[in-house]
């Protein structure tokens, strides 16, 4: 891995989760061969003329660009704003999957959701900052509602009228 990074602005809970998931230190070194790593390999380009790389800003996470012989980050180290947005969406989806996998079975056992959210946060290196637990709870509830809605539609189709 290289130490040449891109900087992506993201919510606190997501930043903490990603750092914890990838070894606990910043800059984050993505797993080689992961979807995110492959995305950076395909999406980083040479710095366009007239574009200035800014130093890391507040709320941005440093993510190392993976090194490949055919795609050296010393040359290919620019990720467009659209690319950063897409990478952020990939990371949010990974977080949702992780959250869903942890909570969906336990939640059905009647445990209190707030306690389960705090347990998930503890296990994944996320510290409460005043909004993290509420945000994570809302993410989970939206996902749960999607499944309920889909299940209800499926059940209505099976019932003959």
Burial of 38 (0-12, 13-18, 19+ CB in 10 A): middle
Under 8 Å between Cβ of 107 and 74: no
Q: How far apart are alpha carbons 34 and 40 in whole angstroms?
A: 10
- Whole-model pTM: value is 0.86
User: Which residues have a Cβ under 8 Å from the Cβ of 14 and sit 6 or more positions away?
Assistant: 91, 92, 95
pLDDT in tens, the chain (161 residues): 568 999 999 999 999 999 999 999 999 999 989 999 999 999 999 999 999 888 899 989 999 999 998 999 999 999 999 999 999 999 999 999 999 999 987 766 666 888 999 999 999 999 999 999 999 999 999 998 887 777 667 667 766 65
Q: Which two tokens stand for residue 63?
A: 């993510």
Q: Which two tokens stand for residue 66?
A: 């993976």
Q: How far apart are alpha carbons 30 and 40 in whole angstroms?
A: 10
Cα–Cα distances in angstroms (integers) from residue 148 to residues 24, 140, 153, in the given order: 35, 12, 9
| Domain residue extents for the chain | 5-158
């Amino acid at each position: 891995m290289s130490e040449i990074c891109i900087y992506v602005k993201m919510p606190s809970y997501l930043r903490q989760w990603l750092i914890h998931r990838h070894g606990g230190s910043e800059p984050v070194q993505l797993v080689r061969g992961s979807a995110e790593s492959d995305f950076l390999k395909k999406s980083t380009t040479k710095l366009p003329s007239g574009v200035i790389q800014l130093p890391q800003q507040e709320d941005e996470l440093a993510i190392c660009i993976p090194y490949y012989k055919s795609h050296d980050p010393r040359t290919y180290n620019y990720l467009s704003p659209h690319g950063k947005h897409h990478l952020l969406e990939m990371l949010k989806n990974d977080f949702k999957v992780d959250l869903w996998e942890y909570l969906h079975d336990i939640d059905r056992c009647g445990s209190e959701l707030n306690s389960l959210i705090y347990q998930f946060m503890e296990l994944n290196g996320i510290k409460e900052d005043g909004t993290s637990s509420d945000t994570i709870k809302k993410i989970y509830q939206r996902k749960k509602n999607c499944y309920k809605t889909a299940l209800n539609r499926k059940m209505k189709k099976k019932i003959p009228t």
